[in-house]
Amino acid sequence: MKLRPGLQTQFLLVVAAGLLVVVALIGLQLHRQHRVQVEVEGISREAMQAMASDSLQRRGEGMVVQLADSLANPLYYFDLDEIGGLARSTLRQPGIRYVIVFDRKGNILHDGNEEIPSYGQRMDDPQAYEAINARSLHTQVDDATMDVSAPIMIGQQRIGGVRVGYDLVAMRGYRELALSDLRSRLSELGRRNLFWVGLLGAGLLALGAGVLWLVQRSLVQPIRQLADSARAIEVGRFDTPLPTSDRSDELGDLMRAFTRMRDSVARHDRDIRRMAYTDALTGLANRLAFRDALDQRLLRLRGAGRQLALLFADVDDFKRINDTLGHDAGDEVLLQFAHRIRAAVERLGGEDAMLARFGGDEFVILVEADASTGDVRGIATRLAEALVEELGAPLMVHDRQVFLGTSIGITLFPEDAVSATSLMKNGDIAMYQAKVADKNCFRFYSRAMDQAVERRVHLEQELRGAWDRGELSLAYQPFYRLSDGLLVGAEALLRWKHPEQGVIAPSVFIDVAEQSGLIETIGPQVLRAACVDAMRWQQLRGGAEPLFVSVNVSPRQLRNGDLPQVVTDCLRDSGLAPKHLHIELTETAVIGDEAHASRLLNRLRASGVKVWLDDFGTGFSGLSHLRRVPVDGVKIDRSFVADILRDPDDLALTTAIIAMAHSLGITVVAEGVENEGQYDILRERNCDLAQGYWLGHPLPVEEFLDLLRPESMPV
Ligand code: C2E
Ligand code: MG
Ligand code: MG
């Protein structure tokens, strides 16, 4: 890690450097002071020395001149007492080591002592010669003594001399005493100086520490806090407390600006998150949010003994709404669905439930339960039942009643899978199976479904091109008129003779064709073949009443819009009269956008083609629907016919349908007639046509042709 000097360290370094300079200056100053002290002492010593020896010499010379004068008479008269008195009084004076009075030749006459032991002796000390021969006042200095001599004169005649020795050692002692006094005063002065300098240093140190503290408190600390907050914001933690400040300086401004910036970043972050995690249309969680939540829950639930169920709800035939009523209506439908689902989830899903829209018409619900206390399968079942029922209720969209169903796939954690990806895949598969099964129902995922999906994908691949390979063919199931029992027509039913699996019924593959869009190519081929076959029947029957052929058309073909054109082309190419072609449409193909359907149907009918509503009664359109959709006939669904003898309700409904249809001039066809009783009662109730295994199974075209021969008699 690279060492980074912080602001505080930098300030510390600057202050330390400043203090170091101050200390160095103080040191220098003390050094100078010491030098000055030494110099002052030296100069003082020299000055004192010069001054002392000067004054000593002048005092000595004055005194010796006076002494020589005073000695002139006594020496002349050789009055030793007088000489001795003068010498002694001189010797008694301080700082005088000796007094010597000598004669002309240099012999000692008196030395101030009582006994004069050296009397008469010649002076032989090193300074004696100069003293004896000096013609005037003469001073000689050696280490210990200052020797001042003067001749004693009578008139112009020199009669002797006098020498006085001054003690220089003592004088030096006095001087040293004075110097040591000076030294002690100087060092006292130095000490006082040192104290003040020390005080100054301490003051500077305190000032430095104070500045450092101030910098730390008012600059470093807030900046550090800001830096910490910035780091927290960087990683998305917007709730870390920020240093609040009522400071009015620039830093206060910065902190306030920083707080505002943090708030605004947090707001943006929230908005972006909300946008990224919610579905704009319904306000529900979206796929991303759901996936996140699921991952987190799975992580939390692993080993916690809790169970999850995922419900994948897909609106049946939602695309039809968009295609026929427009996208506004589609959005409206989704909103109403979302509303209903939310209500159901709140009621039945438990408190941990979560609802999301996966885009398009797919909603996903997550419910959770404790393995020991709750039953997640039960919750999911109840919720799915409620959803199927409530979402199946009619919706009002743009003043129209719309009937839609929902297919729900359910998968369980941990039973079916433990990973989010697998659970989502399973849910999708189960939902798909619900759609394949019946639509408007729910299915729990099972492992067998995986294979079913695989088979389905396989089937789709094989169905592609099956017509061209000659594997697809038509079977014809006859219609009989109930009033006279005559064969009047036949329904074309598609069959697939698979090279390995044999004959496959449309209930198995039509849905695959529908979902994959293959029906849009197969449908017109069926229509063309049926028209061609029907033409052959007419030719075969000669003058007998021509048979009509009815062809099933998928909702997708109707939505496609080019059905009238395809029909016209087929009729023209085959030469079949339009009135001998019937188109069978399921109710679901026309519900939703009746206006669009009506336009197309009217065009078909205008050309003479008849339009029948297939499986009538199974949808939600009800009888009133018949007034709005222009059809020529309805085929009562075989589920009603099946129970017509046992269930009075079914009989009542069938009777009502017949009466109602007849009042509108609509033909009624009963499908799925499997026994004579059904046949009789339908005839009794004035049903027009009938179809069913009891009357005739769907037959390959060649076998059907046999039916047409004159010998095959009606029932
Ligand atoms: P659908 O139009 O209602 O056809 C009648 C179905 O009822 C046929 O099943 C027929 O075999 C069956 N059926 C007839 N009489 C009886 C009876 O007495 N009892 C019982 N239980 N069933 C009877 P199939 O052939 O399996 O066709 C199923 C559906 O597939 C048809 O229902 C139709 O909607 C669709 N379909 C068949 N061929 C085509 C086609 O070429 N194009 C389109 N779009 N759909 C087709
Ligand atoms: Mg049919
Ligand atoms: Mg039918």
DSSP 580: G
DSSP 278: B
Q: What is the pLDDT of residue 558?
A: 85
The preferred substitution site among 463, 510, 679, 701 for testing ligand 1, maximizing ligand atoms within 8 Å of CB, is 510
Q: Which of 176, 113, 164 is nearest to 139 (CA)?
A: 164
The rounded Å distance from CA 584 to ligand 1 centre is: 11
With a 6 Å cutoff on the Cβ, whether 85 touches ligand 1 is no
Distance separating alpha carbons of residues 148 and 64, to the nearest angstrom: 7
Question: Atom 23, ligand 1: which residue's CA is nearest?
Answer: 672
Please tell me the predicted confidence (pLDDT) of residue 713.
Answer: 46
Give the nearest ligand 1 atom to 691 CA. 15
Other CB atoms within 10 Å distance of the CB of residue 360: 13
Any bridge partners for residue 306, and if so which?
370
Residues with CB in 5 Å of ion ligand 2: 552, 584, 614
Least confidently predicted of 82-86, 156-160, 555-559: 555-559
pLDDT one-digit tens code per residue, 418-463: 888 899 999 999 998 888 777 788 999 998 888 878 888 888 999 9
pLDDT, one tens digit per residue, over 89-104 is: 999 988 899 999 999 8
Q: Residue 712 pLDDT > 80, yes or no?
A: no
Helices 376-392/327-348 angle, 10° precision: 140
| 594-617 residue pLDDT tens | 778 888 899 999 999 999 999 887
User: Looking at the predicted structure, is the pLDDT value of residue 324 above 80?
Assistant: no
Q: For 467-482, how does the pLDDT look when each residue is reduced to its tens digit (9 = 90+)?
A: 999 999 999 999 999 9
Q: How confident is the model at residue 625 (pLDDT cuts 50, 70, 90)?
A: low
pLDDT for the residue 620: 47
345 phi and psi, to 5 degrees? -65, -40
* DSSP three-state, residue 358: coil
User: Which pLDDT value is given to residue 451?
Assistant: 83
Q: Residue 621: pLDDT above 60?
A: no
Q: Is 494 in the pocket of ligand 1 (CB under 6 A)?
A: yes
Question: What's the CA-to-centroid distance between 572 and ligand 1, angstroms?
Answer: 27
Q: Please write the tens of the pLDDT for every residue from 212-271.
A: 898 888 888 888 888 888 888 888 888 877 777 788 888 888 888 888 888 898 898 888
State the pairing for strand pair 610-616/633-636. parallel
Per-residue pLDDT at 1 = 47
Task: Measure the N-to-C terminal CA separation of the chain; round to a whole number of Å.
Answer: 101
Secondary structure of 664-713 in HEC code, one letter for each residue: CCCEEEECCCCCHHHHHHHHHCCCCEECCCCCCCCEEHHHHHHHHCCCCC
DSSP β-bridge partners for residue 139 = 148
- Could you give the maximum distance between any two Cα atoms of the chain, in Å? 216
pLDDT for res 232: 87
The pTM assigned to this predicted structure is 0.52
Which of 47 and 5 is assigned the larger pLDDT? 47
Ligand 2 geometric centre to CA of 262 (Å) = 67
- Checking if the pLDDT of 59 tops 60, the result is yes
Q: How far apart are CA 454 and CA 2, in angstroms?
A: 60
Ligand 1 touching residue 514 (CB < 6 A): no
Measured in Å, residue 308 CA sits from the centre of ligand 1 at 40
Q: Helix/strand/coil (H, E, C) string of 128-150?
A: HHHHHHCCCCEEEECCCEEEEEE
Is residue 316 lining ligand 1, measured as CB closer than 6 Å? no
Instruction: Check whether 194 has a pLDDT greater than 60.
Output: yes
pLDDT tens string 125-154: 888 899 888 888 999 988 888 999 999 998
Question: Cβ(638) to ligand 1 under 6 A?
Answer: yes
Instruction: Give the least confident one: 558-562, 583-587, 629-633.
Output: 558-562
Q: Is the shortest distance between the CB of 61 and ligand 1 below 6 Å?
A: no
The residue with greater pLDDT, 580 or 317, is 580
Amino acid present at 643: D
Q: What is the pLDDT of residue 710?
A: 62
Q: Pick the residue with more confidence: 572 or 359?
A: 572
- Torsion angle in degrees (nearest 10) through CA of 623, 626, 628, 633: 170
pLDDT given at position 714: 47
505 phi and psi angles, rounded to 5 deg: -75, 155
For the residues of 595-649, what is the DSSP string, one character each? HHHHHHHHHHHHTT-EEEEEEETSSS-TTTHHHHS--SEEEE-HHHHHTTTT-HH
Q: Kindly report the backbone phi and psi dihedral angles of residue 609, in degrees, each rounded to the nearest multiple of 5, phi listed first.
A: -70, 145
**Phi-psi map region of 485: left, alpha, beta (phi>0 left; psi -120 to 50 alpha):** left
Pocket flag, ligand 1, residue 674 (CB < 6 Å): yes
The pocket of ion ligand 3, defined by CB under 5 A, consists of 614-615, 671
C-alpha 656/C-alpha 482 separation (Å) is 18
In this predicted model, what pLDDT tens digit does every residue of 354-413 receive, in sequence order?
Answer: 999 987 889 999 999 887 777 889 999 999 999 999 998 888 888 888 888 899 999 999
CA of 335 to the centre of ligand 2 (A): 34
Q: Looking at beta carbons, which pairs linking 653-658 to residues 24 or more positions away fall under 8 Å?
A: 653/617, 654/682, 654/685, 654/687, 655/685, 656/623, 657/616, 657/617, 657/623, 658/685, 658/686, 658/687
Element (DSSP H or E) covering residue 197: helix 168-215
Q: Whose CA is nearest to atom 33 of ligand 1?
A: 552
Shortest-distance atom of ligand 1 to CA 494: 38
Contact 673, 710 (CB under 8 A): no
Domains of the chain: 7-48+171-276 (no CATH), 60-167 (3.30.450.20), 287-445 (3.30.70.270), 464-696 (3.20.20.450)
What's the pLDDT score for residue 584? Answer: 95
Pairwise CA distance, residues 640 & 619, whole Å: 13
CB of 477 closer than 6 angstroms to any ligand 1 atom: yes
Rounded distance from Cα 491 to ligand 3 centre (Å): 10
The per-residue DSSP string of 79-95 comes to -HHHHHHHHHHHHTSTT
552 lines ligand 1 (CB under 6 A): yes
Ligand 3 center from residue 112 Cα (angstroms):
175
pLDDT mean across residues, the chain: 88
Q: Which of 18-22, 139-143, 292-296 has the lowest mean pLDDT?
A: 18-22
CA distance 636 to 688: 11
Q: Does position 310 have pLDDT exceeding 90, yes or no?
A: yes
d(CA 69, CA 78): 14
